Structure 1
Amino acid sequence: MRPVRIGAQIAPQRAAYADIRQAAAAVEDLGADILFTWDHFFPLGKDSDGPHFEGWTILGAWAEQTSRVGLGVLVSCNSYRNPDLLADMARTVDHISGGRVVLGIGAGFKEREFLEYGYDFTSPGRRVADLAAALPRIRRRLAALNPPPMGPLPILVAGGGEQKMLRVVAQHADIWNTFAEGEDLARKLGLLQRYCAEIDRDVSTIEVSVHAGGDPWENGPPLRELGASLFTITTSGPDYDLDTIRRWIAWRDEQNA
């Protein structure tokens, strides 16, 4: 079984950048395994017009600011950037960080973001198909870049669509990220195992990443029993509360002892 890892997603919304930077430093000091931002153009939730910053620019700043923690966007929207450009961006931030980047990617879902920034908001099926076409391009570009990435630069694919997205995960992902839990997660994992078998891939080569919160001693074990090993807790501005992240890190250390 894989060791437990803890991700902390610092949502770049409703806060000054100085507060975002301070929260990122605190997360690294706490000992989290991965520090995530996200790829939205407006805040999520009720106050959708509040302060907000762009994720990949932040990630480049974090790459200079931090020294140990893994870094990623949970997750980049495939439609927002040319896949070859995204690969180059990830490779560049990987070098800035000394090889600590996880390349997270998904199909996107926020209609307002697409339309206000001039992207076509196509059907969910079309967006997943575009993601499936982009991932081989990303792999090819990463292999062709000079210099290549410093680290392993794993590709994290987010999404839970059972007929299409999980097949993309089986084909391309090093890490699968999902909001599913309980029976829903168990069913999706069963399908993922089937899709991996169809292409002769060992499903255990895909790390299972879930979103977490609350009491880790209560909520962690059921997810762990299903095979999850990367648990990510999200905190949002203006006041970044890191108490839940601190508890999950303590639980991680017990599990990995």
Structure 2
Amino acid sequence: MTSPGTIRVAIQIPPSRADYAAIRRAAAEADALGADAVFNWDHFFPLGKDTSGKHFECWTVLGAWAESTHRAEIGALVSCVAFRNPDLLADMARTVDHISDGRLILGLGAGFREWEAKEYGFEFGSPAQRVRELGEALERIQRRLALLNPGPIRKVPILVAADGPKALRLVARYADIWQTFAEDDVFSEKSRQLDRFCDEVQRDPGTIERSVFVDGDPWTIGERLRERGAGMFTLMTRGPEFDLDELQRWLAWRDELNAQLSRSPR
């Protein structure tokens, strides 16, 4: 992660609706363009109405990206904790961190597609149960990361996707990055709620980077969300084309804004 106040731009490249060669090219191009992070996702089928398209497994792809990209951080946005034993997931994350020379972001979430979980034989509890399991997994993952030999190259940043109060409490306790779908006033209110939960656990809320999904004109949308506290702006692209034109516009905005911030008196 970069210094506080620095704006970052990421992109999510789903491992779906394309041959792997196209997915690899898109990730490598996003890396070369200067994306701060390149994410995939942890699903077993494509999202959307048509679930019959091509799809590849999340962590296998991340292991390959660890070798085929060179500067961007990589990770899942996000990895469902119900799909893998948490201690195993910590070991997988440590391994990908080493393969990537310390570029892994460990993105975690409680999951939301019941039929997908059941198709692969996983239990899928109520929302409250899934959030409780997320908390248990976060605790186990932290413990296992501290026990592994060798340990991660760096303290692996933990990203947690959360919007409800119980999950936001977990962000306050465990996360380095908070990922949300919330926008504008809703984002501001949830961000204030996160600040209050940080106060409860005596944590500086400024140590948690706030990441939002975006599309459209960065000079209007990005600036509006930045003023509300967002620090990482994540775009989505879809196969088979994986158009990165929008990414280039957001990267130009990022560079312009970060240059202004670097000239501003501290």
Could you tell me which residue of structure 1 aligns to residue 16 of structure 2?
A: 13
**Amino acid of the residue matched to residue 195 of structure 2?**
Q
Please report how far the alpha carbon of residue 48 of structure 1 lies from its aligned counterpart in structure 2 after TM superposition.
1.0
1:24-173 equivalences under 5 Å are 24-162=27-165, 164-173=166-175
Distance 1:67 1:14 in 2: 24
Equivalent residue of 1:71, what SS? Answer: strand
Q: Deviations for 1:10-29, whole angstroms, at most 9, x for unmatched residues? A: 11111010100110111011
Between the two proteins, the alignment pairs up a number of residues equal to: 256
Distance 1:35 1:152 in 2: 19
1:244 aligns with 2:255: no
Q: Deviations for 1:88-142, whole angstroms, at most 9, x for unmatched residues? A: 0000000000000000000000112110000111101100000011111101100
Could you tell me which residue of structure 2 aligns to residue 177 of structure 1?
A: 179
After superposing on structure 2, the runs of 4+ consecutive aligned residues of structure 1 that deviate more than 6 Å are none
Q: Deviations for 1:206-241, whole angstroms, at most 9, x for unmatched residues? A: 110111111111110111011111111010101111
Equivalent residue of 2:231, what SS? Answer: strand
Q: Deviations for 1:61-88, whole angstroms, at most 9, x for unmatched residues? A: 0001111111110000010011100000
1:189-208 equivalences under 5 Å are 189-208=191-210
**Amino acid of the residue matched to residue 43 of structure 2?**
H
Q: Can you give the 5+ residue segments of structure 1 that lack an aligned partner in the other structure?
A: none
Distance 2:36 2:76 in 1: 14
Equivalent residue of 1:108, what SS? Answer: coil
Asked if the contact 1:98–1:151 (Cα under 8 Å) also holds between the matched residues in 2, the reply is: no
Asked if the contact 1:7–1:36 (Cα under 8 Å) also holds between the matched residues in 2, the reply is: yes
1:224 aligns with 2:210: no
Percent identity for Structure 1 against Structure 2: 60
**Amino acid of the residue matched to residue 125 of structure 2?**
T
Distance 1:11 1:199 in 2: 35
Distance 2:89 2:79 in 1: 9
TM-score w.r.t. the length of structure 2 is 0.95
Asked if the contact 1:12–1:236 (Cα under 8 Å) also holds between the matched residues in 2, the reply is: no
Distance 2:127 2:23 in 1: 32
Distance 1:195 1:67 in 2: 36
Distance 2:45 2:86 in 1: 22
Distance 1:245 1:46 in 2: 25
Distance 2:81 2:128 in 1: 13
Please report how far the alpha carbon of residue 44 of structure 1 lies from its aligned counterpart in structure 2 after TM superposition.
0.4
Asked if the contact 1:91–1:148 (Cα under 8 Å) also holds between the matched residues in 2, the reply is: yes
Q: Can you give the 5+ residue segments of structure 2 that lack an aligned partner in the other structure?
A: 260-266
